[in-house]
A = this chain, B = another copy of it.
């Protein structure tokens, strides 16, 4: 549906339909007119994926074999995330944009047709269901060569508002249980498009790691009456040596039991369940710490660090009082020319071995001159 909507901080959202029926949402600060048409020929929609249960661990695996042929590291002239020009029709019909969110062209998960529910009972014979959910792409800037750390604070504010807006809207869908906005950066971790962008995965099931966080948080609440993540932050503040940045509203630290060489958790000091709970003050204070953290990360070795930056939120319907919003940034780079790999112990057994003490990486991050 084509529509407009006013968000916080004077940000306006304009929705437009793409040629193949997908929606693109422009998040703007200056009331831009967004009327450019998507002039590309309509392509056949990719096949719908499947969800299969791995019964050995009771985890859902999304089968998305239609993604095998997707575009791989195109040159700048063919980047589908740049604005449309006379020479190239891209995913974004306009000739410029601030932040846009559009439905993924080859989604791993997609909205179901009709009613949809996971089976209550599962086992080795559980049959496949269609892979319900939603996958969206979020572009941070029209500047192809920039990175998150090059964004202006004002742009990070728009980006945050877009994440909040998507969380709020996707939470309304009956088939969505969990929403995870994340950014993958770096060819080392498999990024296929270098234009600064992230993804929003809205799952029809609680993802396994969130399920485990939920179990730990519930157990802690039951035995102590307290919220686990709040105690974790309290411990980091008390220990102090792993804190790398803070301001009035946010704190950033390397966690006590980090599992990656450079891992940073960023959390609001006034805890909330998800992005929609952030106050205006929290929202305004995010950009400075987010930019500082990303600059420190690239500053450690003076190179573009590969990372995954993922928002952890409470699921849509459960755990709202025990799970807390935070942003986890993990980098597999342990030294220039050396990566941390997930081999036998991590991959097969799930048991992480860390080659670097968290206090050491925190010190290296703090020592970066900005």
The chain A residues found within 8 Å of chain B, CB to CB, are: 52-65, 67-68, 72, 108, 123-125, 178, 180, 182-184, 189-191, 199, 201, 203, 205, 207-213, 215-217, 219-220, 224, 228-229, 231-232, 234-235, 255-259, 308, 310, 312, 328, 330, 334-335, 338-345, 347-358, 360
Partner of A207, one of B68, B217, B259, B351: B351
Complex CA gap A60/B351 in Å reads: 7
Across-interface contacts of A65 in B (CB, < 8 A): 354-357, 360
B68 engages A344 (CB within 8 Å): no
CB distance from A225 to the nearest CB of B (A): 13
Specify the chain B residue showing the minimal Cβ separation from A344. Answer: B182
Residues of chain B within 8 A of A358, CB atoms compared = 63
Instruction: Tell me if A's interface is mostly helix, strand, loop or mixed.
Output: mixed
> How far is it, in angstroms, between the C-alpha of A179 and the C-alpha of B256 when the chains are bound?
27
Contact A344 B207 (CB under 8 A): no
For residue A60, which residue of chain B has the nearest CB? B351
Q: Which residues of B contact A345 (CB under 8 A)?
A: 108, 180, 182, 201, 207
Do the beta carbons of A350 and B212 come within 8 Å of each other?
A: yes
A231, B116: Cα distance in complex, Å? 27
Once the chains are docked, how many angstroms separate the CA of A352 from the CA of B205?
12
Which chain B residues border A351 with CB–CB below 8 Å?
Answer: 59-60, 62, 201, 203, 205, 207-209
Task: Please tell me how many copies of the chain the complex holds.
Answer: 2
Collect the chain B residues with CB atoms within 8 Å of residue A334's CB.
68
A123 in complex: contacting residue of B182, B211, B220, CB < 8 Å: B220
Hey, which chain B residues are within 8 Å of A217, CB to CB? 56
Q: Which residue of B lies closest to A65 (CB)?
A: B357
* CB pairs A–B below 8 angstroms (19 shown): A55-B228, A56-B216, A57-B216, A58-B212, A58-B219, A61-B259, A61-B354, A65-B354, A67-B355, A68-B334, A183-B344, A184-B344, A189-B343, A201-B344, A201-B349, A203-B349, A308-B343, A308-B348, A310-B344
Q: Please give, as numbers and ranges, the residues of chain B lying within 8 Å of A207 by CB-CB distance.
A: 345, 349-351
With A348-B330, A354-B62: A190-B228 Cβ-Cβ less than 8 Å: no
How long is the Cα–Cα vector from A341 to B341 in the complex, in angstroms? 11
